[in-house]
Amino acid sequence: MTRAPRVVVVGASIGGVTAAETLRREGFDGEIVLLGDERHRPYLRPPLSKQILLGEWEPDQASTHTVAQAEELDVELRTSCTARGLDVAGRVVRTSQGDLAYDELIVATGSEPRRHPLLPMALTLRTLEDALALRDGLRSAHRVAVVGAGVLGSEIASAARKHEADTLLLGRSGTLTLGGVGTLLSDRLARLHEDHGVELDLRAEIVGAESGLDGTRIELADGRIELVDLVVAMIGATPRTRWLDSSTLTIADGVVCDRGGSAAPGVSAVGDVAAWVDPFTGRPSRVEHQSNAIEQAIAVALRIARGELGTQPVPLFWSEVHGTRIHAYGWFDPERPLVEAAGDPGIQSGTSATDSAVLLSRDDTDRVRGAIGWNAPPRDFRAARAAVLRTPELITH
């Protein structure tokens, strides 16, 4: 008797869950096995640095599904199951719970925070346990050092101020970054942090650190010593591909895929771990945003279920810093300053860092390739999104 086709999804992330959901919605009636290395049922990660860190949500509110909803999907979920290797030719995943054959494999193992070599005591943020430990630390801390000037650094600094802790945000490049927008919002973000009492030192070089009974002393290259109760290091993330080192997949800052997410016959990758070919540059590129993982998962599932070739989705993400909501859609050229959308039909815009604003990234021919809503009304950001070109070949590089 021939067994039913089996799709194995490694990584119980939103990308992995979305792939399983889409397969079922599209009528795939074979086996779906979802592997997660955590003991929890699948949950959303963006709330970890937002609602859960602020104490607004309890852990179960971040779950992707209720137990009943999960049962309706008819997916075999294996928790505490770690992938250890992959035989691409034999179509077998090696796991901590034994070997598992597949017909199609979707890699959705995400990324993990880099560790600061001089700050072994620093907390990071990736898992639910990380978020709860950090939330407890922020509730009792008087002074917090956040090391890292990216989007998670800004969100954690915002949460620290919400918990009424004195907050120092340390970076090295002199600028603040925000996902795919890069440094284009650096000045606005800096003013926003300063308006909410965050102390910024964006050219700080840490040369040493030592923990004692009175807290952690961070030594900077200019001779200053910063004494803090809590240190959080968010200095970037690396794709979780070590389990694939002995496989025949191409690994280069992620699992290298074509424009439809295929990494090898029978193998696809989605989310933070996946480096799909960028439609502008033609080079593999990772996009670390939840919406991208969802769109990639849908595209891959449609290809498996229907044979339809997917394409790289338009990047979309949002953040909230000190109560200011920031949405971004499209592609952003770091060499071209953002321009106010004031005067564009149907798009309103404010002028200060804390007011409502819509900002656009334009190409050499004045066409819109990216849009940002800074505390903007939803209708204005939707209008700006509609103006973004979705066919990269039409955009002047």
pLDDT, one tens digit per residue, over 21-71 is 999 999 999 999 999 999 999 999 888 898 998 889 988 898 888 777 878
Phi, psi of 301, deg, nearest 5 = -65, -40
Residues in the chain: 397
User: Looking at per-residue confidence, does 167 or 363 come out higher?
Assistant: 167
89-94: long-range contacts, CB 8 A cutoff, minimum separation 24? 89/248, 91/266, 93/8, 93/10, 93/35
Torsion sign over Cα 311, 46, 370, 113: negative
**Reduced to 3 states, what is the DSSP secondary structure of residue 4?**
coil
Domain with CATH 3.50.50.60 in the chain: 6-48+61-112+238-306, 115-235
Are the beta carbons of 107 and 255 closer than 8 angstroms?
Answer: yes
Dist. CA 314–CA 183, nearest whole Å: 19
| pLDDT, mean over the chain | 90
pLDDT tens digit sequence for 214-250: 999 999 999 999 999 999 999 999 999 999 999 999 9
DSSP 171: -
Q: What is the DSSP string of 385-397?
A: HHHS---GGGS--
**Reduced to 3 states, what is the DSSP secondary structure of residue 20?**
helix
Please check the confidence at residue 394 and state whether its pLDDT lies above 60: no
Please check the confidence at residue 350 and state whether its pLDDT lies above 50: no
Give the contacts of 361 (CB within 8 A, at least 6 positions apart). Answer: 184, 330, 331, 332, 333, 336, 338, 339, 368, 369, 370, 371, 372
Are the beta carbons of 299 and 261 closer than 8 angstroms?
Answer: yes
Domain with CATH 3.30.390 in the chain: 323-394
**Amino acid letter at 230?**
L
* % of the chain surpassing 70 pLDDT: 93
Are the beta carbons of 220 and 207 closer than 8 angstroms?
Answer: yes
Task: Please give the CATH architecture assigned to the domain spanning 6-48+61-112+238-306.
Answer: 3-Layer(bba) Sandwich (3.50)
Give the pair of three-digit tokens for residue 238: 């690396």
Dist. CA 96–CA 274, nearest whole Å: 23
Strand order from edge to edge, sheet including 225-228 = 206-212, 215-220, 225-228
Cα maximum dimension of the chain:
73
**Reduced to 3 states, what is the DSSP secondary structure of residue 101?**
strand
**Regarding the domain delimited by 115-235, which CATH topology (the fold level of the hierarchy) does it fall under?**
FAD/NAD(P)-binding domain (3.50.50)
What number does CATH give the domain 323-394?
A: 3.30.390
Distance from chain centroid for Cα 261 = 18
Q: How far is CA 200 from CA 167, 172, 234, 367, in A?
A: 9, 11, 15, 35
Q: What is the pTM of this model?
A: 0.89
* % of the chain surpassing 90 pLDDT: 72
Please check the confidence at residue 391 and state whether its pLDDT lies above 60: no
Are the beta carbons of 354 and 322 closer than 8 angstroms?
Answer: no
Please check the confidence at residue 389 and state whether its pLDDT lies above 70: yes
Q: HSE on the CB side for 67, CA within 13 Å?
A: 1
Please check the confidence at residue 285 and state whether its pLDDT lies above 70: yes
Dist. CA 335–CA 371, nearest whole Å: 15
Tell me what the mean pLDDT of segment 364-379 comes to. Answer: 90
